[in-house]
Amino acid sequence: MVEFLSDSQALAAGTATVGWLSRKSLRQPGSHGFYRFFVWEAILGLLVLNRDFFDSDPSSPGVQVAFLLLLLSIVLALSGLITLYRRGKPSQGRDEQSFYAFEKTTQLVSSGIFGYIRHPMYSSLLALAWGTYLLNPDLIGTLLVGLASLFLWLTATTDEKECLAYFGSAYAEYAQRTKRFIPFLF
């Protein structure tokens, strides 16, 4: 693979980008976006650590599983975003300063992919983290994928508290009938 940036340059550039995208959330420790920043940082670390392995032999079983997870990541992210835009009625009038525009939904979305899991975009990040890790599992990668998973859990549980505060009992009922990350399992 042709490297345009060294690992440290790629990590610095990625961190600067993620920091800028997360600037409002980082001013609100305890918000779901605050924890999501650390997810993105761990995934960035995995991407930089394993970037040479994206050129790995595609016939290897580990690489096949990794690429299936990476493909799943894209499908989950797109499905979640499209469903939120179509059914969530995002509004800039919603006052959460640290939320991205697509997160400022005014309607509880409980259909489409959200009928099976509450957090398809966080599931997408989970698949991205584990898919990238499986390209070349090692000790540092294990630490990073563990941190990404832990911070995704913190992000999701915090997001659920925020949704419960905004949507009330309708969200509580919705949470009872859906799983957090993996349909029918978890």
Average pLDDT score, the chain: 90
Check residues 48 and 52 and name the one with the higher pLDDT: 48
Helix 139-167 crosses helix 32-49 at what angle (to 10 degrees)?
160
In a domain, 183, yes or no: no
- Asked whether residue 184 is assigned to any structural domain, the reply reads no
Question: Cα separation of 98 and 26, whole Å?
Answer: 8
Q: Which residue has the tokens 């090692």?
A: 138
Query: Stretch 4-16: mean pLDDT, rounded?
Result: 89
Between CA 169 and CA 174 the distance in angstroms is: 8
What is the domain extent for residue 118?
7-177
79 inside domain: yes
Residues whose CB falls within 8 Å of the CB of residue 7, separated by 6 or more in sequence, listed in order: 48, 49, 51
Residue 2 lies in a domain: no
The stretch 39-44 carries a mean pLDDT of 97
- Split at pLDDT 50, 70, 90, the class of 184 is confident
Number of domains the chain contains: 1
In a domain, 18, yes or no: yes
Backbone φ and ψ for 117, nearest 5 degrees, come out as -140, 145
Section 36-60 average pLDDT: 88
Per the model's pLDDT, the better-predicted residue between 59 and 159 turns out to be 159
Alpha carbons within 13 A on the beta-carbon side of 149: 11
